[in-house]
């Protein structure tokens, strides 16, 4: 194996060379000039010319799901419309297409993704593409491809081009053997869904690339997210969005989880605020690269009672979906987010009553507009 020997000798010489300025334990890709995809070393130098005083140039993958459009809106307000590119493999609605830059990007197409990053001089990447917990169980091969192979593509491109990378994780990254009430940042993680397994993999790979190559990887474990103007993509916590729509439309709601199933939840504005805050936090403030964030925790019964304060005639019945129930029973009931609060000042704005009032004022004003038209 002379080639292997030569390469390892060259790498060890590079590691020891004082000119590189690298420590032995942290080896940024640009120092050894060999990326995980064997891209020429000068590939990363192009993006290094980005000045920190400029606005970041942002790409959001999987941006047409429940969270991406709201994230683009928030980031465009902060960094300017033209600096934030939304992408997905689906066709955007007119209002999304005309609200700012949109591009087709399949995260499984490595070359296409790299071309987008290079041509648009991307400096920050928010990686939102994923198959969520319930749809993931219904199509494991696709979930494995999108959530694991897709993540590998994103990690390599981010490392090669010196990007700051945000990858969301989830309460679903924990499992039945994790402490569930509360669940700390660091504990046993043995999830029993392909979604959870892929998210633990993403957390570990991102942290590994951070320590091994200096990748600026940042990750938050989101609770179930509740939003009024976007639909959830097939998760276990979807009921907590659906109840609002059904309460408004029919006054009847059939819940697919048992009434006492407690899960951590969060209003979308808090989720997106946390995402921007952790991306803007100075690196020295981050004692970890993956944080839990928390706002509230409730059961379907407690949510229904709060909703009934606004729509007293709402009738709730229960028809349990065994797959979703088994998933929910293995997830945290409460999330311990003390580290996020201490390190970068995380603080939620919405508790359960505030969330329900906000959802109804949003949906209420929407329906009034629909009637007027």
Ligand X SMILES: C[C@@H](O)[C@H](N)C(=O)O
The verdict on 83 binding ligand X (CB under 6 A) reads no
- CA dihedral of 67, 68, 70, 74, whole degrees rounded to 10: 130
Q: Which does 133 bind (CB under 5 to 8 A by kind): ligand X, ligand NAD, none?
A: ligand X
Residue 62 touches ligand NAD, criterion: CB under 6 A: yes
If one asks whether residue 61 binds ligand X (CB under 6 A), the answer comes out as no
User: What is the C-alpha to C-alpha distance for residues 22 and 31, in angstroms, rounded to an integer?
Assistant: 7
Residue 64 contacts which entry, ligand NAD, ligand X, none (Cβ below 5-8 A, type-dependent): ligand NAD
How far apart are the C-alpha atoms of 246 and 207, rounded to whole Å?
41
Nearer to ligand X, 70 or 172 (CB): 172
**CA 161/CA 104 separation, integer angstroms:** 20
For ligand X, which residue of 237, 275, 290, 297 counts as binding (CB under 6 A)? 237
CA distance 188 to 178: 5
* d(C-alpha 122, C-alpha 165), whole Å: 11
Q: How far is the CB of 68 from ligand NAD (least distance, A)?
A: 5
Q: Does the protein bind ligand NAD through residue 107 (CB under 6 A)?
A: yes
Q: Is 195 a catalytic residue?
A: yes
Please list, in sequence order, all residues whose beta carbon lies within 8 angstroms of the beta carbon of residue 138, skipping any fewer than 6 positions away. Answer: 234
Residue entry with tokens 């580290």 = 339
- Omega into 182 within 30° of 0, i.e. cis? yes
- Residue 100 interacts with ligand X (CB under 6 A): yes or no: no
Interface with ligand NAD in residues 228-267 (CB under 6 A): 232-233, 235, 237
Candidates 14, 108, 281, 352: give the one binding ligand NAD (CB under 6 A). 108
Q: Quick one: 131 or 247, whose CB is closer to ligand X? A: 131
| Torsion sign, CA atoms 176, 177, 181, 182 | negative
Please choose, from the candidates 84, 77, 79, the residue with its C-alpha nearest in 3D space to the C-alpha of residue 59.
84
> What are the catalytic residues?
195
By the criterion CB under 6 A, which residues form the site for ligand NAD?
61-62, 64-68, 88-90, 105-108, 128-130, 132, 146, 150, 168, 170, 222, 224-225, 232-233, 235, 237
By the criterion CB under 6 A, which residues form the site for ligand X?
132-133, 170-172, 195, 224, 235-237
């Amino acid at each position: 194996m002379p080639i292997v020997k030569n390469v390892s000798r060259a790498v060890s010489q590079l590691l020891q060379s004082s000119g590189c300025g690298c420590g032995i334990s942290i080896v940024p890709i640009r120092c050894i000039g060999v990326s995980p995809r064997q891209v020429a070393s000068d590939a990363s130098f192009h993006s290094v010319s980005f000045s920190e005083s400029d606005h970041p140039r942002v790409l959001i993958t999987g941006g047409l799901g429940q969270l991406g459009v709201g994230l683009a809106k928030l980031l465009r307000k902060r960094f300017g419309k033209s600096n934030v590119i939304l992408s997905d493999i689906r066709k955007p609605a007119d209002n999304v297409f005309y609200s700012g830059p949109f591009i087709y990007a399949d995260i499984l197409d490595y070359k296409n993704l790299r071309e987008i990053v290079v041509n648009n001089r991307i400096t920050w990447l928010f990686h939102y593409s994923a198959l969520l917990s319930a749809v993931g169980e219904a199509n494991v091969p696709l979930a494995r491809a999108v959530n694991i192979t897709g993540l590998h593509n994103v990690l390599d491109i981010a490392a090669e081009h010196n990007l700051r990378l945000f990858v969301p994780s989830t309460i679903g990254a924990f499992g039945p053997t994790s402490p569930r009430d509360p669940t700390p940042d660091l504990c046993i993680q043995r999830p029993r869904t392909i979604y959870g397994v892929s998210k633990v993999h993403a957390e570990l790979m991102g942290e590994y690339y951070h320590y091994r190559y200096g990748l600026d990887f940042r990750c938050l474990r989101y609770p179930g997210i509740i939003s009024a103007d976007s639909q959830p993509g097939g998760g276990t916590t979807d009921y907590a969005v659906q109840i609002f729509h059904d309460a408004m439309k029919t006054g009847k709601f059939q819940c697919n989880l048992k009434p006492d199933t407690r899960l951590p939840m969060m209003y979308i504005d808090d989720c997106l605020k946390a995402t921007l805050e952790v991306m803007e936090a100075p690196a020295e403030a981050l004692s970890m690269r993956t944080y839990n964030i928390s706002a509230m925790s409730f059961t379907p019964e407690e949510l229904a009672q709060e909703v009934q304060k606004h729509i007293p005639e709402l009738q709730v019945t229960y028809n349990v979906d065994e797959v979703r129930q088994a998933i929910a029973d293995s997830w945290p009931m409460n999330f311990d987010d003390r580290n996020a609060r201490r390190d970068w000042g995380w603080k939620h704005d919405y508790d359960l009553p505030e969330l329900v009032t906000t959802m109804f004022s949003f949906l209420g004003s929407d329906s009034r507009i629909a009637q007027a038209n």
